[in-house]
Chain A
Amino acid sequence: MTRRWPGFLLVAILLLAWEYASATKLIDPVSMPRISVIAASWAKSIDGGALLQALLPTLGRIFAGFGLAVIVAVPVGLLMGSIPLVYRLLEPITEFIRPIPSSAYIPVAILFLGIDNEMKVFVVFVACLFPILLNTHGGVRAVDPVLIDTGRTFGVSPLKALWQIVLPAALPSILTGMRISLGIALIVAVVAEMIAGNSGIGYFILDMQRIFRVPEMFAGIFTLGILGFAINFVFLKLEGRLLHWRGTGAEA
């Protein structure tokens, strides 16, 4: 943390510049209110519970969709990486679905699942699926054959090898995929909330904009920034804990 002060200093300077520019009407104070005003409304929104109320459903959707994606993508990725037939079977579908932006599924998902949680969790799930799947597959492909042969010489069955050798060897790559997915999950959840429904931080931001409560709108946006930062920070810590055997000191 201590070595990061230049970065935080820059943030502080930019915020001060914003405050100054807005106060002196260099920028339009209606659409860009002063930081102090935004901060005050942020405190009030947190205190009044409006922001927290908006945040909790979003968090729930992110982690539900992400969790489901991990449960599905890691085993499928392991199989794709180790059984050529599974790879040949799934590769064309994967390559077709993967480039479609996940927000494009939202209209379809609304048709089938409505505008509530199910739809949003589903969209987050689909968005998270591919980075985890592809990174797991890539990680498995990159496992050195010597490591596999080592298992074989010790009489480890292919199924056990998947769990005891392939999974830990591919873990760094799997975790990278998971980290990418978490970032995407936040984006997609907010977009879905803006398009349909009446809960979540995405809806909160859009709603505040519609009723011209611009400071609250910014409070919501900043909350997203803090949330993304916090999720990434916690995940890096977790990653460092799980991969401590690499000794690279992957500290956040």
Chain B
Amino acid sequence: MHDAIRRPDDRSVSAAPATARAAAHAGEPRPDGAPAIIELRGLTKIFPTPGRDLTVFDNLSCRIQKGSFLSVIGPSGCGKSTLLKIICGLEPATAGQVRFDGRAVSDPPKGMIYVFQQYTKSIFPWRTVRENVEFGLRAQKTVSRAQARERCNQYISLVGLETYEDYYPYQLSGGMQQRVCIARALIGEPAVLLMDEPFSAVDAMTRAILQELVLKIWDKLAITILFVTHDVDEAVFLSTRIVSLGRAGAGIAQDVAIDLPYPRDQIATRAEPRFTALRQQLFSSIFVQEKTGAAPA
């Protein structure tokens, strides 16, 4: 299954074992490294509000390398989710451009799939697990019925839901529903997966398990993942690179390469001094902003 899912264009990674891949990720933020799959050019987003227009970001630019695991963190209300929605074309930018594979993004492009925080609202309750996952193949018309079924089985077992194929969402736990959404997103083999706080609504244990699952998938399928979270630990644990946004309008506060080795382990990685140091550095900067500039709730 490993080889069946891997995209053919990914020679460099498929040849290398996971650890070698991780080493290649280490020096990520250098713009002269891997080619950029996504480029943000002077991105500006202004929400018109009655009193005063709210500038979420102003002239934001950033290059995202192919194959990276980039997390976006920042204080609440800084526009993390908005940024992700603009990147995948679900929301228009006020000015500036998102370029995906060299083309400007206006509508949701093929090759990018957004995974929503609210999985209970994103899953199709009238479809079984299999039918939900199969929906991810909609955009591809070249797949035969037999192939579709085979692919479904592959991705259902990739997220560990075999034997649940014929269950309806109401019969599943929250973690399982989000697994369905992830399988549905992956089956079309997108180049980029955008995840908006995907694990914020599941319990801590499930979250730890799903984090490992996402890392496993990222490694196996060699995709680029953009991940929004408010959880600094989660970001450090998962990412090759973390972009920390300042308060609304302030732009990128920090851009940090996470040089922890892969494969990462929930217990060993979190015990490393480097993990703690990175976490501390990022957490304190956000915490300070959150505390000083706390918006009247």
Contacts and interface: CB of A to CB of B under 8 A. Distances in A.
Interface stretch (B131-139, B248-256, B281-289): B131-139
B74 interface: no
A165 interface: yes
Interface in A23-66: none
Interface string A128-156: 00000000000000001011011011111
B121 A247 contact: no
Contact of A146 (B110, B122, B135, B138): B122
Nearest to B131: A245
Contacts of B110: 155
B116 A146 contact: yes
A101 to B, nearest CB: 36
A89 to B, nearest CB: 26
A149 B108 CA distance: 10
Contacts of A88: none
Contact of B121 (A144, A152, A153): A144
A154 B121 contact: no
Say whether chain B's binding surface is mostly helix, strand, loop, or mixed: loop
B86 to A, nearest CB: 13
A242 to B, nearest CB: 9
B125 interface: yes
B129 to A, nearest CB: 12
A149 B116 contact: yes
Contacts of A246: 125, 170
A107 interface: no
Contact of A155 (B116, B138, B168, B171): B138
Interface in B29-48: none
B106 interface: no
Contact of A245 (B113, B126, B135, B139): B126
A183 interface: no
A247 B171 contact: yes
B114 interface: yes
Given A156-B138, A245-B168, A247-B171, A150 B126 contact: no
Interface of B: 88, 90, 107-108, 110, 112-114, 116, 118, 121-122, 124-127, 135-136, 138-139, 168-171, 188
